[in-house]
Structure 1
Amino acid sequence: MRKLIALCAFCASPAFATGLEITVAGEANGTIKIDLLEDIAPKHVEQITALAADGAYDDVVFHRVIGGFMAQTGDVENGKLGADMRLAGTGGSDRPDLAAEFSDVPFDRGVVGMARAQDPDSANSQFFIMFQQGHFLNGQYTVVGRVTEGMEIVDAIKKGQGRNGEVTGAPDVMTKVTVTE
């Protein structure tokens, strides 16, 4: 009986989730569905699904959006709607940083990767969605998923200004991020 209870508790873990459903508001309005690649990056998938299940990603803005490249979000510490947007992109979560889980999956349009600092083992909560292929990122960043629905919503996310893609004014926001099975 104890084995069955332990097994069921393990099965309920967010790590067994297969996707995310992200509701976006702002210039882009709608839902983005992402298939998570647990077999490619199990630790990263576990981290982002745990954060999503806790509601940490709700009301987090897209703080860095570079047209023709990618849209970045996920700063649960400094990127909440209404926070000082000058700090957005500088934080993570209260969970530990993760060692890279590089794969052969290329950074094509719709691929979701984990953002990080200079250290390859510094990914935490931030992630980005590719507008177009960016194969120069292959083997440099961890791939965690791919958009399966709502790429038109990704394309409509408010673009940032300048080379760094910092979004000024009212950024688009992930109003709700739900773990799906």
Structure 2
Amino acid sequence: MPRFAAFLGSINVGGNRLMMEDLRRVLRYEDFDDVETVVASGNVLFTHPECPSEGLAEKMAWIVNQEFDIDSFIAVRSCAEVHAIIAENPFGPGKENAGEENFVHTHFLSGEPGEHQMKALLLDHAGRGDERIAVGTRALHIDYVDGVGRSKLTADFIERRLDLRGTARNMRTLKRIACKLDKLE
């Protein structure tokens, strides 16, 4: 069976506390196999019969909402898609414009941003910070040059401009997840 990674948004921040043990238990009950969590911030590895990743994301989001009363955006990517998203990040390791791994993020999105949406995001962000932004496959790649904590380029800022939901992971976490997916395939 194919191996996938799910990236849950808004988990263990604000009031959305969720024990990873509880999440694993519920997902196993709902036909997700070989469920493993990575870091306590909503990264789930699992196997599932062949299914489009969008369908798996919807199924998992429904389960999280029903079982834990959390409305979470969930991005599901296959092992190959996780490797591809790392490779396409222009600020990732080995690239000419590489940034620090913990400052370089991929913001997984619920869809592809349109040209006018990206223009609005870049225009509204101009002068607000030194972040570098590049469009990816259903994602934004961002180098938070001065760190994420002080940045004005927040998830809410991005989502309002793009009219797409999303969740971000740094390069260090993505590489760790890719390695775990490789070992299990």
**Fold shared per TM-score above 0.5:** no
TM range (shorter): under 0.3
Q: Compare the two structures and name the one with the higher helix fraction.
A: 2
**What TM-score do the two structures reach when normalised by structure 2?**
0.27
Higher relative contact order, structure no. (Cα contacts within 8 Å, ≥ 6 residues apart): 1
**What TM-score do the two structures reach when normalised by structure 1?**
0.27
